[in-house]
Amino acid sequence: MKPMDYFEISEEIQEAINRKDNKKPVVALESNLITHGLPFPENITTALNMEKNIRDEGAIPATIAILKGKIKVGLSNSEIENLAHSKSAVKASRRDLSAIIFREMDAGTTVALTMWAAHRCKILFFATGGIGGVHRSIEHPTMDISADLTELARTPVVVICSGAKSILDIPSTLEYLETMGVPVFGYQTNEFPAFYSQSSHLKVDYSLRDVLEAAQIINTQLQLKLENGLLIANPVPTEFALGKKKMDHWISKAQEIADKENIKGKQLTPFLLNQIKELSEGRSLKANMELLKHNATIAARIALTYHKMISSRQLKDYLYSILNQYPDLN
């Protein structure tokens, strides 16, 4: 079998990818937030609202998941709902892919696997909540570093997020991204957001003024053929942001509970997020849902601006080629 034989791409997305004159760009969305990131029924409503926000801006959403061993690119509403109800769907990163496909399992895709799948389908833009990173236990032998960071270093996809999850060691995460050559941009901010909070008190590499500047830098990155991802950090909307001091207190309490119960590996992040939701009396969940929807909107706006810019340049190049063929027209 060929690699793409393992994919099922919706007709709408396939047409958008293949047609050069298509006016609608595609924005990828992960499905791990449906299976493991958010509780029911908020997982369904948030996933559908993210898709709606992307369509409202004039782009096409492509939620990616693995269903019965097939990499599905572009889920129907019923498939999203079924995935949200599933008790058997697993959390899948790149390393899990071959086993999950062979066993014909259902899975929610992480940031890393969603990036890989999006790139294979020629989808450039991807909106998510927060990337994984270096866990706070990095000084121990576990060396718990998210595969998201490695994928950003080797897969040319533009990831729009609200920084790294607050439960992580954010300074070490940024250092790791620098080492791996991944540029970190702040969308209309100079500070790297900390998921629920608008700032981690750490600087981004560069601030983006607007969607046009973002599109221009993305184009330059691609022309240089650097072959790595590009991270655009978009802070949680002000009205839903949580204070960093409060968040640090809740995270410390949640980490203490996780240590006592010996929670590690794939179970650690969802466990900590659930504990923080309880400690914050649901405020962290609300912030999570709102930042996801906002990132979908900003991703669609940047994608649309980039798409229009590239289409305009292609038209100009075509006209110049015609003029060069017929010098008398000059």
pLDDT digits (tens, 9 = 90+) for 175-206: 999 999 999 999 999 999 999 999 999 999 99
State the Cα–Cα distance between residues 319 and 272, nearest whole angstrom. Answer: 56
State the Cα–Cα distance between residues 190 and 171, nearest whole angstrom. Answer: 15
Summarize pLDDT for 56-76 with one digit per residue, the tens.
Answer: 999 999 999 999 999 999 999
Active-site hit among 24, 30, 91, 191: 30
138 pLDDT higher than 60? no
Strand partners, 185: 206, 232
Mean pLDDT confidence for 143-168: 92
324 pLDDT higher than 50? yes
Query: Which residues are CB-contacts of 132 (< 8 A; sequence separation ≥ 6)?
Result: 110, 111, 112, 146, 147, 148, 149, 164, 165, 168, 269
The pLDDT of residue 318 is 44
Q: Is 41 left (phi over 0), alpha (psi -120 to 50) or beta?
A: alpha
Percent with pLDDT over 70 in the chain = 91
The domains of the chain, with CATH numbers, are: 3-329 (3.40.1790.10)
Which three-class secondary structure state does DSSP give residue 131?
A: strand
pTM over 0.85: yes
Mean pLDDT confidence for 136-153: 76
Percent with pLDDT over 90 in the chain = 77
Asked if 2 is an active-site residue, the reply is no
Active-site hit among 72, 165, 277, 293: 165
Summarize pLDDT for 259-277 with one digit per residue, the tens.
Answer: 899 887 767 777 888 899 9
Asked if 87 is an active-site residue, the reply is no
